[in-house]
Structure 1
Amino acid sequence: MGSVINDLFKSAGVSRDSVVVSVTGLPFTYRFISLPRMKPEQQEEALLRAARKEMELPFEQLYLSWQAVIKRSDEQDFFVLGVPRKPVDAVIQTMEEAGIKNFDMDIKPLSLARAANHGNVIIVELAPDCFDIVLVAQDIVSMMHTVIPRSEEPVVEYNIQRLADELSKIVEFYNAGHSRNPLSPTTPLLVTGELLTGTKTIELIQATTGYSVEPLVPPYKLPGELPVAVFASNIGLALKKASLKTAIKRHDRPYIDININVLSERERVKTSGATAKNILIALALLIGVSLVYPVYQLSGQAHLETTRLNTELVKVQQELDGRQQANNEAQQMEKKIAEIIARSESIIEGNNVFLNKGTDFASDLELVTGILPAGAVFTSVRVTGSQMFFQGKAESYTTLVSYALALEKLFSDVRIDWIDDNIVQTANNTITVSGISFNIVIDK
């Protein structure tokens, strides 16, 4: 694929200094994060700390990038994007093989929103390998989702119904979080993509979803021979190098473009913004891509399959991480259960001793407690086999020793296992000794 791209640039005779790349099916995760207003030099550390708590994948597996989107008096909202490194590194390698060292990278949903340049809209791209859904509300991208069509089912029937089901879930989820300002039922649904073959598909989507369906029309005057439905996301990529403020104005408030670079972590040469002329040249190059498509169709399919497998790999990695966490939790639970069983067995053993008709611990306990002096109390009693353990507190060493001597007259083996002073700290930080704690062991 790298050699094909290289040959295309050579034959078109265009510069490789202002290249923007995107890949169909590229997996990603994103979050909107609000931070208190702070100095610019403090933002990166604060954002990374906040994103670490929100993102599902480990940071070392992601390329992270972000953009400030909405400012308030005391807060700043950021859009934070994380893309797995493995598929991005594969793209970087391909571009290097094509002789392109410095380039920007975007995700298709953001490029579709940029191409639409609409403040409140649902955008759907119907591609053979995936359906991208983008929800733009209150002038900014709010939700992005990808549906993988089932190749064994008829696209125009079953998969359009799946698309309608996913749309319903997305809108329901958005409205649940924005009950005061839900998405209007009259929100337009803009469709584009290679599978948008004509008005019949649009009519089917409209009948299935209930939305007013229109083709996506970018805000630039384009060559008449350019198939917009096929190249809508490419047009959004070309607009990445231009300011949408200079594009056609269709709303009282401008659409907030999330113009983010997946490769912002990498050190690269920054290029200046493109003019409308440069954009048309880029679009001409895209048309050239479509003309040479039959030459590298098999290679392109292999690349898409690699992307799909990378997506599956990310999903499997997430599942493995979840199972590993569940396994760790299960091991901790097993340890706690083992401790509980051990304590239960000790209690059962003690109960069995008490219930054993061949022994008379009740009378022994009566003897032990019957001679307990007034200055001593028991805090616990435990019986194991032929031994009895008595923990308690006494007012003095003399009281404890006198009690132990009295027990020696009743049992064959009595010993004081340990003695500790009871340390008390008063409100004015004065430390005093208030009696003693002890443990006496009696062997029958």
Structure 2
Amino acid sequence: MRVTSMAKKVVTLYIDDTSLRLLVAKGKRVKKWANLPLESGLVRDGAVLDEAKLAAKIKELLKAQRVKARKVIAGLSGLHCLSQVITLPRLPEAMLAEAVRREAERALPVPLEQLYISWQITSTSREEMQVFLAALPRNAADALIETLRQAGVKPYLMDLAPLALARVVNRATAIIIDVRSTEFDIVVMVEGVPQLIRSLSLPNGALSLQEKLPTIREELERTVKFYNSGHPEKPLEPSLPIFVSGELADEPELYQSLSDELEYPILLLSSPLKCPEGLAPSQYMVNIGLALKKLSPGKWASLSVVNLNALPEVYRPKARSLTKVLIALSIIVAIGLLVPLVMLVQSTAANTASLQAQLDATNQLLEQRYTQQQAQKKEIAELEGKVAEIEVTNNAFTAVLDNFNRQHKIVNGDLRVTTSTLPDTVVLSSITHASVKLTIRGMSPSETEVLAYADSLRTSGRFSQVIVSYIEKTEEGVTFTLTLSARGWD
């Protein structure tokens, strides 16, 4: 959700390999801007390498521009970041975060332990929802935030450069390309959602833009072909405009030749903020997109529906008085039980290995000390007995873990059916799964919806028995309890 702030100043910072860009906006206008070149070695591929030196540069820039604000909106390079639009069944709000985490774990090629995950629901239908997922490398995000801290500023919002660019364009469906000295971003936005994002390094920062153009053209062609191959029913139209910014925007002959070769019209990406004389907005489009996270200049409204805060939750200030009552599902408890079981199995395996090492040491002592043979034989027998007991225990816990995994799949299946058959007018207050019994409590406008919901559950074939065990009319509607007997627990 965009928060309109017409009077408050917004300070944005964007750092790439070669420069530090500052832009301050207020209401509809850009008030200050500055670009401080960076020497090689401070930042590489969008990741901060020397936090102390870069922090000193930020202090220098803020002081030179007389910017006293200590809260900023920070931009992070799209290099090594991941994004994807995922589809989930329509779920209660209390289950969304866990569902997104699991789908991210399945879909992303990098372990979640190395990433910070941010997400936003972009559309919802009767049966499913579309979620935009963004993943930032932990090391890059941590280094940037620590650098800002050392510079005496604190980010309260963070965004990826490609998402900031998508916020500037005034078309719901378009292609955006922003070229900087060492990298460039390509964004394919369809119906307000960045469906495909590619952030790529350029071969050599010392090359001229004309020498880099073949690489840019090749990657742009590859991006369009990749999107069209995945959407044959609705490919990108040849009339779809490509909006350019950055270094390419300053070379009309080059981007016109690119338009001729690709056979797509190319337009300049314009700023919705009013820019003072002397400011080249094409060089600050990422900063402008960052400012638009908080500003809504005049009648202009961003057509990009994605406006998530990529700042990791661990760095966000805790809410002071906001409370939210969530429905706790007892099914999650079963998943939580797996953690101590796994730890116990691992501990048992470690004990087994330790005892085996002692047994090997005893065998060596038998060879060296023949005179103690009888006493050590007794010790070996005792140790072997302990090893056998531990192995039995280990096998027992392994069997329990396998059983929990099987039950977990059944519980997920039951939950999917109970939520997918739920009428829109019926609200569930709790779902309790105990052994083979599933108890559902909720509220409905009338008995008709309750009975229809019960019939749908019976028709699903998932449950051996569905009973309306309690129903009572109240001023708000009808409260009810359904008792279901689950299958598959034999």
Same fold (TM over 0.5): yes
- More displaced stretch, 71-80 vs 156-165: 156-165
Q: Deviation string for 1:324-374 (max 9, x for gaps)?
A: xxxxxxxxxxxxxxxxxxxxxxxxxxxxxxxxxxxxxxxxxxxxxxxxxxx
1:43 aligns with 2:91: no
Q: How many Å apart are 1:235 and its aligned residue?
A: 0.3
> Would you say the 8 A contact 2:183–2:202 is kept in 1?
yes
Q: How many Å apart are 1:269 and its aligned residue?
A: 3.2
1:266 aligns with 2:317: no
Residues 49/23 of structure 1: CA separation in 2 closer, same or farther (3 Å cut): closer
Residues 163/12 of structure 1: CA separation in 2 closer, same or farther (3 Å cut): closer
> Would you say the 8 A contact 1:219–1:247 is kept in 2?
no
4+ residue runs over 6 A deviation: none
1:133 aligns with 2:181: no
1:111 aligns with 2:134: no
Aligned partners of 1:73, 1:222: CA distance in 2, in Å?
44
SS at match of 2:154: coil
Residues 257/102 of structure 1: CA separation in 2 closer, same or farther (3 Å cut): same
Aligned partners of 2:63, 2:204: CA distance in 1, in Å?
36
Give the strand-richer structure, 1 or 2.
2
Aligned partners of 2:121, 2:95: CA distance in 1, in Å?
14
Partner of 2:237: 184
Aligned partners of 2:318, 2:251: CA distance in 1, in Å?
40
Residues 248/150 of structure 1: CA separation in 2 closer, same or farther (3 Å cut): same
Q: How many Å apart are 1:236 and its aligned residue?
A: 0.4
The within-5 A match list for 1:265-304 is 265-269=313-317
**Contiguous gaps of at least 5 residues in structure 2:** 1-53, 320-490
Q: How many Å apart are 1:54 and its aligned residue?
A: 0.7
The within-5 A match list for 1:192-341 is 192-243=245-296, 247-248=299-300, 255-269=303-317
Aligned partners of 2:170, 2:272: CA distance in 1, in Å?
7
> Would you say the 8 A contact 1:25–1:130 is kept in 2?
no
Give the aligned residue type for 2:103. Answer: A
Give the aligned residue type for 2:300. Answer: I
Q: Deviation string for 1:238-282 (max 9, x for gaps)?
A: 1111358x6525xxxx723311222232242389xxxxxxxxxxx
Which of structures 1 and 2 has the bigger CA Rg? 1
Q: Deviation string for 1:80-118 (max 9, x for gaps)?
A: 111111111110111001111343221111011111132
- More displaced stretch, 184-193 vs 35-44: 35-44
**Contiguous gaps of at least 5 residues in structure 1:** 272-444
Q: How many Å apart are 1:143 and its aligned residue?
A: 0.6
SS at match of 1:82: strand
Aligned partners of 1:102, 1:213: CA distance in 2, in Å?
34
Aligned partners of 1:75, 1:15: CA distance in 2, in Å?
46
Aligned partners of 1:115, 1:179: CA distance in 2, in Å?
28
SS at match of 1:56: coil
Give aligned-pair identity as a percent: 32
Give the aligned residue type for 1:73. Answer: R
Aligned partners of 1:243, 1:43: CA distance in 2, in Å?
29
Residues 222/247 of structure 1: CA separation in 2 closer, same or farther (3 Å cut): farther
Q: How many residue pairs are counted as aligned between the two chains?
A: 266
TM-score, normalised to structure 2, is 0.51
Q: How many Å apart are 1:23 and its aligned residue?
A: 3.4
Give the aligned residue type for 2:293. Answer: K
SS at match of 2:140: helix
- Equivalent of 2:72 in 9, 19, 31: 19
Partner of 1:101: 154
Q: How many Å apart are 1:16 and its aligned residue?
A: 3.1
Aligned partners of 2:236, 2:194: CA distance in 1, in Å?
13
> Would you say the 8 A contact 2:169–2:303 is kept in 1?
no
Aligned partners of 1:14, 1:45: CA distance in 2, in Å?
41
Give the aligned residue type for 2:106. Answer: K
- More displaced stretch, 65-74 vs 150-159: 150-159
> Would you say the 8 A contact 1:2–1:97 is kept in 2?
yes
> Would you say the 8 A contact 2:118–2:133 is kept in 1?
yes
Aligned partners of 1:57, 1:158: CA distance in 2, in Å?
33
SS at match of 2:87: strand
Q: How many Å apart are 1:8 and its aligned residue?
A: 3.2
TM-score, normalised to structure 1, is 0.56
